[in-house]
Structure 1
Amino acid sequence: MESLGEVLKSWPPGGGMNAQADKLMSELLADPLVRQFRAKHPELDNRDIKINLNRVYQYVKEQSHCAACPGIERCPNDFEGHYTVLECETLNGSVQLYDRKAPCAKLTARQTEQSIRTRVRSFYVDESSLHRGFSADDIMNTDPERMLAVGRLFSYIKTTKERGLQQKGLYLVGHFGTGKTFLMCYMLHELAKAGLSGVIVYMPEFVEDLKAMLDQPSRIRETVELMKETDLLVFDDIGAENLNPWVRDHVMGTILNYRMNRKPTFYTSNHDLEALERHFSFTNKDGDEAHKGQRVMDRIRPFVEKVWVNGNNKRGR
């Protein structure tokens, strides 16, 4: 549908213009949207409609576009993602018709999704995993063997939404490819809707990147501060990294020492907690240091609930 200005340009001069205007007026008065609006506002008469012909025309045109929406990226309305709304009131016996622009549901959904994305950061984790947006039914039915783990995750999300940040996080442990990382991404995405910030870190690549940043102390400091302060922190595939004493004691130790009793930390791993302690107790540089492994685990074990994730290996499907 053209704009009213374009319609007016196509009208013939003289008496023909009046005939065209009367035809347009009749079409608008017969439109179901206008009929419905006038039923809500019986004080409106034909003269009021004629005085506000441009507003009424724009209202009908944009509502028509929305009814056959081609998608937010191809929105044909004057302001992308918005449509005209009419409002009517009577002041001192005079009927006044106003219009305003309202955001459509698709624009609101896109803005909400963009807001969610700004709350969640990932380091070396596939962004598609973080924002795939599977429904709860999809997650529950993908693999019946992991149903208990999924149920516990849903319960954790629900409790956090109702009561705020929990003291304990979750430690998801299981074999390769059972969906531990995706479950954590789903949790971050769902809790971002409730306004919580989150960071997920793929440990093997993160540790190697830290080693390469030794000559960039300001960048390391910014990264550590981000992980200390985020509401939800996920260490993905912990225990698979090539550990050194500096990362263990000065990076991991600093982050975990700050977060315990403040904010929950989450983990995915192929190792149970006992095997993870052995991993933290040995480095290629200093060999076996059981007391240092125990020190790290004292900042992990009391602050997580271990959840075993059963299921089939889904990688490569």
Structure 2
Amino acid sequence: MKSLSSAIQQLMNGQNMQPAYQQMMQKVFADPTVKNFLNQHQDALSKDVIQRGEAKLYEYYHETELIRKGTPTVAPGYSPQLTINAGQIDVVYVPTKKLIEQQRQQHIQNLVRSINMPKFIRHASFDSYYVDDAHQTKSRNEALDAALNFVEHYSPSQFRPGLYLYGSFGVGKTYLLGAIANELAKANGIATTMVHFPSFVVEMRNSIKQNNTGDKLEVVKKAPILMLDDIGADSMTTWARDDILGVILEYRMQEELPTFFSSNFSMDELEHEHLAVNNRGEEEPVKASRIMERIKYLSREYEMVGANLRDKG
């Protein structure tokens, strides 16, 4: 059997090539990867097959040169590879490591669904929860330890209560919830829904006209992990408490779905100062107690005390 290089030389000599084209194809056939591919498959590649595959060989060579130079290619994020398809030379494009990592990061971000939540939760992490000794407090450390413990031991097959974080504005409650959600997505591929509850109530009220409140409620109440942010920030109507919050909590308690909360109120304050009195000033302690039973079943209370983290800089 003639050597591959001799066959290629005969192929090029036998064709009536324009000098520019011949020079170009010499570069293609001299490319180390092209040479290696042709050598590995020389038993399956006749002179005619190589001739018919010149366009594909050039395509591969051209695209790899563009990638090497950092020039935009026909398939950004994908790397060309030579292959044999139905006995003919062909080029397939496979995702690069960079693209795979970008897609992985995007998938992680997509696992954390936020409804009316601040943008900073997208990048929240345990590592950047607070970075200096001046902002560390005993209560913040205890809440962080509880968050780390939940992520480490969480399993969809075994119910674990979430966290009920309470404290003053800017103490880091929402940020810590975001860090938990992002870490669950990154480490475990777990989907989390984060909801700013007062805004969600307004959205639900507005959706009554479109007759799609049920669909919105289904998405929230059935989330694998649910985080209700800012519970108690606004006065709550009987409808919001019983038909929105109550329905969500009842379903999640029955299905044992982990639920997290943040609030400016402790559990006791939330029950007696917020849930027990509706926006008309009417006291309904029994209904408030029923809501709190579900919150206490679904979560464990942690106070967070410290300087306003949004003021640090």
> Which deviates the most, 33-42 or 248-257?
33-42
Match of 1:129 among 120, 128, 151: 120
Q: Does 1:285 align with 2:287?
A: no
Q: Does 1:236 align with 2:229?
A: yes
Match of 1:204 among 195, 198, 202: 198
Question: Cα 1:135–1:53, aligned 2, differ >3 Å: closer, same or farther?
Answer: farther
Q: Equivalent residue for 2:31?
A: 31
Contact 1:77 1:83 in 2 (8 A): no
What are structure 1's unaligned runs of at least 5 residues?
Answer: 1-13, 71-75
1:8-49 Cα distance to aligned partner (Å, 9 max, x none)? xxxxxx9772x4344334433443544665687686999676
Q: Does 1:300 align with 2:290?
A: no
Tell me by how many angstroms 1:256 deviates.
0.5
Tell me by how many angstroms 1:229 deviates.
1.4
Query: Within 1, Cα distance between the matches of 2:114 and 2:281?
Result: 31
User: SS in structure 2 opposite 1:299?
Assistant: helix
User: SS in structure 1 opposite 2:294?
Assistant: coil
| Letter paired with 2:209 | Q
Tell me by how many angstroms 1:231 deviates.
1.4
TM-score normalised by L of structure 1: 0.74
Question: Cα 1:223–1:180, aligned 2, differ >3 Å: closer, same or farther?
Answer: same
| Letter paired with 2:97 | A
User: SS in structure 2 opposite 1:177?
Assistant: coil
Tell me by how many angstroms 1:232 deviates.
1.6
Tell me by how many angstroms 1:117 deviates.
4.9
Tell me by how many angstroms 1:107 deviates.
3.7
Tell me by how many angstroms 1:227 deviates.
1.6
Tell me by how many angstroms 1:261 deviates.
4.0
1:222-241 Cα distance to aligned partner (Å, 9 max, x none)? 22222211212111011212
- 1:52-71 to 2 correspondences below 5 Å: 52-69=53-70
Q: Does 1:85 align with 2:81?
A: yes
Contact 2:191 2:224 in 1 (8 A): yes
| Letter paired with 2:74 | D
Match of 1:312 among 288, 307, 310: 307
Tell me by how many angstroms 1:179 deviates.
2.4
Tell me by how many angstroms 1:182 deviates.
2.2
User: SS in structure 2 opposite 1:234?
Assistant: strand
Q: Equivalent residue for 1:180?
A: 173
Query: Within 2, Cα distance between the matches of 1:257 and 1:84?
Result: 53
> Which deviates the most, 167-176 or 258-267?
167-176
| Letter paired with 1:304 | S
Match of 1:254 among 232, 240, 247: 247
Q: Equivalent residue for 2:9?
A: none
Question: Cα 1:32–1:168, aligned 2, differ >3 Å: closer, same or farther?
Answer: same
Question: Cα 1:181–1:38, aligned 2, differ >3 Å: closer, same or farther?
Answer: farther
What are structure 2's unaligned runs of at least 5 residues?
Answer: 1-14
How many residues are aligned here?
290
Query: Within 1, Cα distance between the matches of 2:103 and 2:79?
Result: 16
Q: Equivalent residue for 1:73?
A: none
1:162-213 Cα distance to aligned partner (Å, 9 max, x none)? 5556342121223321222122223333434545433222123333444555
TM-score normalised by L of structure 2: 0.75
Question: Cα 1:42–1:312, aligned 2, differ >3 Å: closer, same or farther?
Answer: farther
Query: Within 2, Cα distance between the matches of 1:43 and 1:172?
Result: 69
User: SS in structure 1 opposite 2:131?
Assistant: helix
